[in-house]
Amino acid sequence: MAAPFSRLLEMLRPDLLRFAFWLARDRSVAEDVVQETLIRAWKSQDELKDPAAARPWLFTIVRREHARLYERKRLPTVDVEEIEALGDPALASDGDAGLTDLRRAIMQLPDEYREPLVLQVLGGFTTSEIAASLPSNHTIATTRPLAAPRRFCTLYVRPLP
């Protein structure tokens, strides 16, 4: 089972890294979170009964590993505007004003809306998969994935002149 599981982790690693980056907003922290996720997944691979469930299982581990960072210690925060002004390649700033506005709008979303949106757009999860993976009551979990795009549109989409 080790070789197929190893290939599965290798295949999903880029998606896990993108998700961790959106959670952490810091590439090195995201890489650490993914590394811890892969170690935890490797140690717990016998718990994964259905390989089709690996993707949501791993995304849940990423979210929990990210949360553990804040249980252990408080990391210094960095102003996203300041990083953007420095042209940090982690933000993939290419001077495209539309892309910059898009990123800014996503970052302005509260975590409870940003995470479902990122899971849907970057992770390709369905609304029901997102709701099942969110650590909240059933009513909130089923409405957040639907509300996140609407909330995002209020920040990003501007009325036509």
* Cα separation, 158 vs 24, whole angstroms: 28
List, for residues 20-33, the tens digit of each pLDDT value. 998 888 899 999 99
Q: Which residue has the higher pLDDT, 29 or 71?
A: 29
pLDDT in tens, 85-131: 665 555 554 556 666 777 777 777 777 777 777 777 777 777 777 77
Q: What is the pLDDT of residue 31?
A: 95
Token readout for 156 is: 């990003």
* CB-CB contact of 148 with 117 (8 Å): yes
- Average pLDDT of the chain is 77
Q: How far apart are alpha carbons 69 and 91 in whole angstroms? A: 22
Check if the beta carbon of residue 59 is closer than 8 Å to that of residue 123.
yes
Instruction: Say yes or no to pLDDT of 19 above 60.
Output: yes
Nearest 10 degrees: Cα torsion 151, 155, 156, 159:
100
Q: How large is the average pLDDT for residues 76-83?
A: 69
CA distance 99 to 160: 18
Q: How far apart are CA 84 and CA 146, in angstroms?
A: 29
Q: What is the pLDDT of residue 127?
A: 74
